[in-house]
């Protein structure tokens, strides 16, 4: 790692494979299929490693759909909150299944999708989200249909539904009770379908999660309704696999010791800022520092960290869990150097798979 200039995202192949083995186990034990949600993680350099453990990809736009088709292959689900007229033919060309977000999109484009499997997003009007920005069941949510008459009028044109209502859900019992609610409230509809996607947000690769109970529950769901279940794990696929490697550029003491690093939460881990969370930083030792980014944003702060020794300029810091909703959201704010992307292979070798230069910054604008 000595030669590689910070900042860079470092994906650990062995850790990724461990997650993938859990995904594969769940698929085998439950019969459910698992599609990588590209909105969370689209770093296609590691798709060769992931492909054998998952069934394909799901997407939120034409570009994600195309990326999944080109770089991952296997089953390719197309979903978008709204397709444009000029996108739909191309989208249908890449996808083997298209899930419309609304009845009006189904009305508008259903004929164009006639050659492939068609579905609709169902919004059960509850979720596990405690944060309204990310709550698909928030008031007036535009994410899917719930009205019985509207759902009914789609039934002769769809063979399945996608229901995304879990958000960072680590609690199997909550998953179980909410799935029961879906079965109770929408069972008559589910019975008439061939497939049901339960979306993402189930953190089944986390430490201590009862994966086999989840597998049994999914199996029972499929048996009861005669459907093929899909999961769309984003975060669960890649959690704990990646760090953001940064270096200390300056140390300031204004009543609190602040270490400024060659990165930015706003530019390189934006999701944490949006959800008012702090980064996972080292916490061992008596020397405490606030770790801050180098943009002009006053709140460009990763969080507080502890180290066994006082920090020095040039020290390396690893920020954990930096795969999900990071690389897909990175941006050029303040022209801060974009982290390279590197992979630690099984033998410990680190190889850079992408780096970014001034030319990339310049070409992102005109």
> Per CB under 6 A, which region of 3-11, 48-56, 199-207, 287-295 contacts ligand PLP?
199-207
> Per CB under 6 A, which region of 35-43, 102-110, 293-301, 304-312 contacts ligand PLP?
35-43
- Is there binding between residue 164 and ligand PLP (CB under 6 A)? yes
Check whether 235 is labelled as a binding-site residue.
yes
- Is there binding between residue 236 and ligand PLP (CB under 6 A)? yes
Sign of CA dihedral 49, 15, 330, 37: positive
C-alpha 44/C-alpha 68 separation (Å) is: 9
* From 232, 245, 262, 300, residue interacting with ligand PLP (rule: CB under 6 A): 232
Distances (CA, A) of 317 to 7, 284, 291, 310: 10, 13, 9, 13
Smallest separation, CB 128 to ligand PLP (Å): 10
Residue 176: φ, ψ to 5°: -60, -45
| 3-class state of residue 284 by DSSP | coil
C-alpha 231/C-alpha 153 separation (Å) is: 26
Check whether 75 is labelled as a binding-site residue.
no
Q: Which is nearer to ligand PLP, 119 or 199 (CB)?
A: 199
> Per CB under 6 A, which region of 229-237, 239-247, 284-292, 339-347 contacts ligand PLP?
229-237
C-alpha 285/C-alpha 221 separation (Å) is: 48
* From 68, 160, 234, 240, residue interacting with ligand PLP (rule: CB under 6 A): 234
| 3-class state of residue 77 by DSSP | strand
Place of tokens 């068609």: 118
Tokens for 335?
């022209």
Smallest separation, CB 142 to ligand PLP (Å): 12
Is the CB of residue 244 less than 8 Å from the CB of residue 234?
A: no
Q: Which is nearer to ligand PLP, 117 or 247 (CB)?
A: 117
C-alpha 145/C-alpha 198 separation (Å) is: 15
* From 68, 199, 240, 293, residue interacting with ligand PLP (rule: CB under 6 A): 199
- Is there binding between residue 68 and ligand PLP (CB under 6 A)? no
> Per CB under 6 A, which region of 194-202, 239-247, 311-319, 348-356 contacts ligand PLP?
194-202
Which of these, 281, 293, 282, lies nearest to 330 by C-alpha position? 293
- Is there binding between residue 37 and ligand PLP (CB under 6 A)? yes
C-alpha 52/C-alpha 74 separation (Å) is: 10
- Is there binding between residue 56 and ligand PLP (CB under 6 A)? no
Q: Please report, in range form, the residues annotated as the binding site.
A: 235, 271
Binding interface with ligand PLP (CB under 6 A)? 37, 39-40, 164, 199-201, 232-236
């Amino acid at each position: 790692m000595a030669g590689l200039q910070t900042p860079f995202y470092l994906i650990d192949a062995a850790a990724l494979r461990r997650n993938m083995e859990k995904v594969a186990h769940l698929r085998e034990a439950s019969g459910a299929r698992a599609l990588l949600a590209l909105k969370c993680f689209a770093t296609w350099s590691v798709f060769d490693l992931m492909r054998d453990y998952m069934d394909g990809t799901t997407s939120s736009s034409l570009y994600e759909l195309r990326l999944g088709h080109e770089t991952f292959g296997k089953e390719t689900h197309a979903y978008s909150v709204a397709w444009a007229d000029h996108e739909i033919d191309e989208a249908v060309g890449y996808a083997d299944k298209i899930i419309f977000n609304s009845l009006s999109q189904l009305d508008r484009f259903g004929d164009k999708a006639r050659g492939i499997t068609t579905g609709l997003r169902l919004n059960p009007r509850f979720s596990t989200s405690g944060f309204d920005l990310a709550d698909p069941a928030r008031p007036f949510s535009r994410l899917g249909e719930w009205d019985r008459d509207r759902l009914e009028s789609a039934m002769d044109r769809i063979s399945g539904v996608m229901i995304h209502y879990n958000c960072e859900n680590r609690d199997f019992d909550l998953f179980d009770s909410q799935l029961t609610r879906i079965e109770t409230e929408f069972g008559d509809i589910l019975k008439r379908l061939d497939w049901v996607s339960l979306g993402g947000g189930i953190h089944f690769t986390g430490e201590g999660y009862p994966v086999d109970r989840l597998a049994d529950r999914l199996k029972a769901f499929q048996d009861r309704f005669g459907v093929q279940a899909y999961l769309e794990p984003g975060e669960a696929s890649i959690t704990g696999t990646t760090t953001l490697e940064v270096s200390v550029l300056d140390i300031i003491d204004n009543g609190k010791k602040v270490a400024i690093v060659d990165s930015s939460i706003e530019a390189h881990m934006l999701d944490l800022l949006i959800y008012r969370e702090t980064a996972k930083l080292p916490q061992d030792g008596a020397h405490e520092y606030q770790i801050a980014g180098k943009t002009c944003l006053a709140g460009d702060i990763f969080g507080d960290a502890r180290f066994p020794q006082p920090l020095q300029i040039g020290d390396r810091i690893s920020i954990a869990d930096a795969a999900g909703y990071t690389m897909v959201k990175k941006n050029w704010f303040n022209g801060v150097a974009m982290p390279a992307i590197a992979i630690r292979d099984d033998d410990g070798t680190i190889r850079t798979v992408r780096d970014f230069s001034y030319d990339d910054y310049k070409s992102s604008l005109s």
